[in-house]
Amino acid sequence: MIRNLYALAALAALSVSIAACAAPTESGESEESTEDDLTVKSGHLETFQGQDDRWYFRLVAGNEQIVLGSQSYSRESSAKNGAQSVVSNGLDADNFELREAANGSTYFVLKAANHQVIGQSEQYSTRSNAQRGVRTVRAICTYLSRAQQ
């Protein structure tokens, strides 16, 4: 019971609403660094151990907003593998699915090729903000993928 409460607390911490998270447009980007560029280029993946002693990962935009969070894992190595899966699967728009929460807000999930959910976003007040969140995740994944090469 206490472990479930800790897991719920960790999930609640990942579910803090994001007002909006901007992503750069796919056309018309200049060489100058913009706030959107910094949001993407400063984006990073974090793995951490929750109060429930389970492991999680999250994708954090450069503005320090959590744009994608994971389920819990029993081992750190599994959480790190899940985080790497975000980078490879987050490149393809077809791997994202917008969903409606019980309270009417919108969130998205990122799925792997086997259709299993890798990560889930925060809840957004509008569908268009959730779509911007998807674009942000894709842009960060593109940047991280290029940085790994």
Indicate the DSSP class of residue 124.
Answer: B
Could you give all domains of the chain from N- to C-terminal order, each with its CATH number? 2-16+44-148 (2.30.29.80)
Reference 100, options 68, 119, 79, 124; nearest CA is 124
Q: What is the pLDDT along the chain (149 residues), one digit of tens a residue?
A: 444 334 434 443 333 333 334 344 443 343 444 556 656 778 999 999 999 999 999 999 989 999 999 999 999 999 999 999 999 999 999 999 999 999 999 999 999 999 999 999 999 999 999 999 999 999 999 999 998 88
CA distance 117 to 113: 10
Residue 41 φ then ψ, to 5° = -70, -20
Give the residues across from 100 on adjacent strands.
Answer: 106
**Number of neighbouring beta carbons within 10 Å of residue 99:** 13
Helix (H, G, I), strand (E, B) or coil at 14: helix
